[in-house]
């Protein structure tokens, strides 16, 4: 094995471990922390089925954001939809043979990258142009956008300018998954792309990217509005009752 292969192999195992372990730990932490009081932002659905619908609308359509600010919504939504299509297109690197629909979206799916990067550019522009958003932006906000744009642009380089050896890359990726190690293709752009992706994976559980799992645990969105019908009691609050009353 070349040192390049060793490096990227190790990097990806490490990054995957951090990503999965880290996010799992965060989810565990969120689910373990009780929400002692009923605090849905009302009007809220009165049943759990209603809550599922509300959450789906938030996750798929960014409904609250739509109510809030049309510019952020359009840029943010385009970015995320673009990202979703790009990632679905990527599934083919991890499968042999790839699912039918993954093959199906390949030809036009590659243009989603433009949407993704355009959305990111719009969001980034706001951080400079709108005084309120400039005030709240930290260096890490800018770097996060820079990172995603860089991943996007390096990927687009490979898709539209200098093609990389997809067969070799796929062999490398499948090799990682089956512990049957294959050489990492020595292509500069690909190395940049994958290096940055690994960085993204590593910072995911310690950054604001936690908004993705976080939204599902937000009590103002995931609670049903039924406090008069059901007694809601956190374990530590119930203990209070036993001690005092």
Q: What residues make contact with ligand HEM under the rule CB under 6 A?
A: 59, 62, 65, 72, 76, 79-80, 83, 86, 89-90, 93, 110, 113, 116, 123, 141, 144-145, 148, 151-152, 155-156, 158-159, 163-164, 166, 169, 173, 193-194, 197, 209, 211-212, 215
49 lies in the binding site for another protein (CB under 8 A) = no
Which is closer to another protein, CB of 76 or CB of 155?
A: 76
- List the single partner that 186 binds among ligand HEM, another protein, none, CB under 5 to 8 Å by kind: none
DSSP 8-state assignment for residue 227 = T
What whole-number distance in Å separates Cα of residue 202 and Cα of residue 157? 23
227 lies in the binding site for another protein (CB under 8 A) = yes
Q: How far is CA 72 from the centre of its chain?
A: 17
Provide the minimum distance between the beta carbon of 148 and another protein in the complex, in angstroms, as a whole number: 12
- List the single partner that 193 binds among another protein, ligand HEM, none, CB under 5 to 8 Å by kind: ligand HEM
DSSP 8-state assignment for residue 161 = I
159 lies in the binding site for another protein (CB under 8 A) = no
156 and 113 in contact (C-beta within 8 Å)?
yes
Question: How far is residue 101 from each of residues 88, 89, 186, 234, measured CA to CA in Å?
Answer: 9, 9, 30, 44
Q: 118-147: which residues touch another protein (CB under 8 A)? A: 123, 126, 130-133, 135-141, 143
Distance separating the N- and C-terminal Cα atoms of the chain? 69
* Closest residue by Cα to residue 80 from 101, 62, 100, 94: 62
């Amino acid at each position: 094995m070349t040192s390049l292969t060793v490096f990227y192999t190790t990097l990806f195992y490490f990054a995957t471990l951090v990503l999965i372990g880290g996010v799992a730990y965060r989810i565990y932490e969120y689910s373990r922390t009780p929400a002692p009081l009923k605090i849905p932002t009302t009007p809220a659905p009165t049943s759990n089925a209603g809550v599922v619908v509300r959450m789906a609308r938030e996750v798929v359509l960014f409904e609250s954001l739509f109510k809030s600010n049309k510019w952020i919504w359009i840029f943010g939504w385009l970015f995320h939809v673009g990202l979703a299509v790009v990632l679905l297109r990527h599934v083919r690197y991890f499968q042999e043979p790839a699912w039918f629909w993954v093959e199906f979206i390949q030809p036009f799916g590659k243009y989603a990258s433009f949407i993704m990067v355009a959305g990111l550019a719009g969001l980034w522009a706001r951080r400079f142009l709108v005084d309120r958003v400039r005030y709240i932006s930290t260096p890490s906000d800018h770097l996060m956008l820079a990172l995603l744009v860089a991943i996007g642009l390096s990927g687009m380089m490979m898709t539209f300018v200098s093609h990389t050896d997809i067969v070799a890359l796929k062999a490398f990726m499948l090799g990682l998954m089956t512990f049957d190690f294959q050489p990492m293709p020595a292509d500069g752009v690909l190395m940049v792309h994958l290096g940055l992706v690994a960085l993204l994976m590593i910072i995911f559980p310690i950054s604001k990217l936690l908004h993705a799992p976080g939204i599902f645990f937000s009590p103002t969105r995931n609670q049903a509005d039924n406090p008069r019908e059901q007694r809601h009691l956190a374990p530590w609050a119930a203990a209070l009752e036993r001690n005092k009353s």
